[in-house]
């Protein structure tokens, strides 16, 4: 039997892949660039930087529920194009305001919120659109390709942002970033082919809990939802304390912390290949469980890192590579399985439910993590978060997920 042609030869997927790659780099540059702009141009206080950071989680929480029915009731490709154009329009107001000497911190916060909101809608629509472009048996491969470019953007995006903002004045450096969203929209607009029709009246029928109910009613998607919620809560605790733990508890300089975080990008790149390889070897369900076990153990190793500089640096580098590799591997497989099991007509609402539940719990985890760090110390709080990560493979092992080999094709 002849093997199917490479996915990059499929014109529709190739254009979606190219659009995602360009916008992924643009998103990373925006993520780094807006805080740089706030600090260097507007002398923003720490509270304002915290508000900038919170925008992404708030957008996921609000729009995750509210926009799911909107995505499911309309063709997804135009939504992707308009989300890119809206991000371009929002971002280009910054250099225009700077040129007119009108740039202010409230405007930067509003722009950050608009971009975060459009990015959430873009991700939901992309998740729902992909199964209409590639057959179900190639979803793992397709998501692996997309995760590869996300990993490359995570490695190169921050460095590219630093270079651009060093060469150009901060407000005008964002012109480059806005152009990436325009290029992405052009690639998406060039995709040909008819989408499956959206579900009639999905928008009108979609209450804020419908996506959760749809996911909960599917016995294999249910544990995926529970694991995502646990990851949001524990990840909020972990993320709130990681920098404090590294800089104060382990007493590492920022240069070594940055080196360790960069190793995470390398691990994520490995994970994009590792997920499909594990699924071929042991089946999708067992591969997800095994990857999550390794991910949780990596987080636990961070909490147990030695206090000497060399030992701590080596542990952080190794755990960033291993933890991100297995974390991305699990994410690729969980996303592919969800796309294969749920009807395409409801994927927007289901994706929104996953984003909103994880985003809301991440906010709670971050607030609780800050309190725990003060009460029991950063090391103990990070160990507690790692224990939370250990619940994820346990949920999978006690569910029908453990018996899933090849994913069934959605109705």
How confident is residue 393, by pLDDT bands cut at 50, 70 and 90? very high
In the prediction, which pLDDT does 266 show?
Answer: 85
Q: What is the DSSP string of 176-210?
A: HHHHHHHHHHHHHHT--SPPPPPPTTHHHH--TTH
Each residue of 171-200: pLDDT tens digit?
777 887 888 899 999 999 888 876 666 665
CB 302 within 8 A of CB 386: yes
Give Cα 359 to chain centroid, integer Å.
11
Distances (CA, A) of 142 to 68, 297, 406: 22, 28, 15
- pTM of the complete model: 0.72
Residue that wins the pLDDT comparison between 362 and 97? 97
Distances (CA, A) of 82 to 34, 77, 115, 266, 291: 22, 9, 12, 32, 36
Residue that wins the pLDDT comparison between 380 and 360? 380
Percent of the chain surpassing pLDDT 90: 25
Residue that wins the pLDDT comparison between 204 and 92? 92
In the prediction, which pLDDT does 411 show?
Answer: 38
Least confidently predicted of 76-85, 145-154, 155-164, 334-343: 155-164
Each residue of 274-301: pLDDT tens digit?
988 998 899 899 999 999 999 999 999 9
How confident is residue 5, by pLDDT bands cut at 50, 70 and 90? low
Each residue of 91-102: pLDDT tens digit?
999 889 988 888
For residue 75, give the DSSP letter.
-
In the prediction, which pLDDT does 375 show?
Answer: 84
Which CATH code is given to the segment(s) 210-403?
A: 1.20.1250.20
In the prediction, which pLDDT does 222 show?
Answer: 93
Task: Count the Cβ atoms, other than its own, within 10 Å of residue 247.
Answer: 15
Place of tokens 């070897």: 281
Residue that wins the pLDDT comparison between 75 and 203? 75
CB 118 within 8 A of CB 90: yes
Q: What CA–CA distance (Å, rounded) separates 125 from 77?
A: 8
Residue that wins the pLDDT comparison between 27 and 157? 27
Task: Count the Cβ atoms, other than its own, within 10 Å of residue 376.
Answer: 12
Structure-token pair, residue 292: 């999550």
Tell me the average pLDDT of the chain. Answer: 81
Helix runs in 283-308, H state only: 284-303
- Per-domain residue ranges for the chain? 11-141+153-190+200-205, 210-403
Residue 203 has pLDDT above 70, yes or no: no
């Amino acid at each position: 039997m002849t093997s199917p042609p490479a996915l990059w030869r499929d014109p529709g997927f190739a254009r979606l892949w190219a659009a995602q790659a360009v916008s992924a780099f643009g998103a990373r540059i925006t993520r780094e660039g807006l805080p740089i702009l706030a600090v260097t141009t507007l002398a923003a206080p720490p509270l304002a930087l915290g508000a900038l950071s919170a925008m992404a989680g708030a957008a996921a929480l609000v729009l995750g529920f509210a926009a799911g029915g909107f995505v499911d009731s309309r063709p997804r490709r135009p939504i992707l194009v308009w989300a890119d154009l809206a991000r371009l329009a929002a971002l280009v107001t910054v250099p225009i305001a700077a040129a007119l000497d009108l740039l202010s911190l409230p405007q930067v916060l509003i722009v950050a919120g608009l971009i975060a909101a459009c990015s959430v809608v873009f991700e939901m629509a992309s998740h729902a659109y992909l199964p209409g472009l590639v057959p179900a048996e190639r979803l793992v491969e397709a998501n692996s390709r997309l995760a590869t470019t996300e990993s490359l953007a995570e490695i190169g995006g921050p460095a590219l942002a630093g270079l651009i903002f060093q060469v150009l004045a901060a407000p005008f450096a964002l012109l480059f970033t806005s152009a990436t969203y325009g290029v992405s929209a052009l690639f998406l607009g060039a995709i040909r082919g008819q989408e499956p029709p959206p579900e009639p009246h999905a928008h009108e029928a979609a209450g804020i809990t419908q996506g959760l109910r749809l996911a909960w009613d599917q016995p294999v998607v249910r544990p995926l939802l529970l694991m995502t919620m646990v990851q949001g809560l524990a990840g909020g605790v972990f993320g709130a304390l990681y920098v404090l733990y590294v800089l104060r508890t382990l007493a590492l300089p920022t240069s070594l912390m940055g080196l360790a975080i960069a190793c995470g990008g390398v691990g994520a790149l490995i994970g994009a290949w590792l997920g499909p390889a594990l699924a071929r070897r042991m089946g999708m369900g067992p591969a997800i469980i095994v990857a999550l076990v390794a991910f949780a153990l990596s987080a636990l190793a961070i909490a147990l890192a030695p206090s000497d500089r060399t030992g701590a640096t080596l542990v952080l580098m190794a755990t960033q590579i291993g933890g991100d590799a297995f974390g991305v591997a699990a994410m690729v497989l969980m996303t592919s399985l969800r796309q294969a099991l749920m009807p395409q007509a409801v994927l927007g609402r289901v994706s929104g439910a996953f984003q909103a539940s994880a985003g809301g719990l991440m906010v709670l985890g971050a607030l609780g993590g800050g309190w725990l760090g003060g009460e029991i110390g950063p090391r103990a709080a990070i160990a507690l978060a790692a224990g939370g990560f250990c619940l994820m493979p346990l949920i999978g092992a006690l569910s029908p997920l453990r018996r899933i080999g090849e994913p069934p094709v959605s109705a």
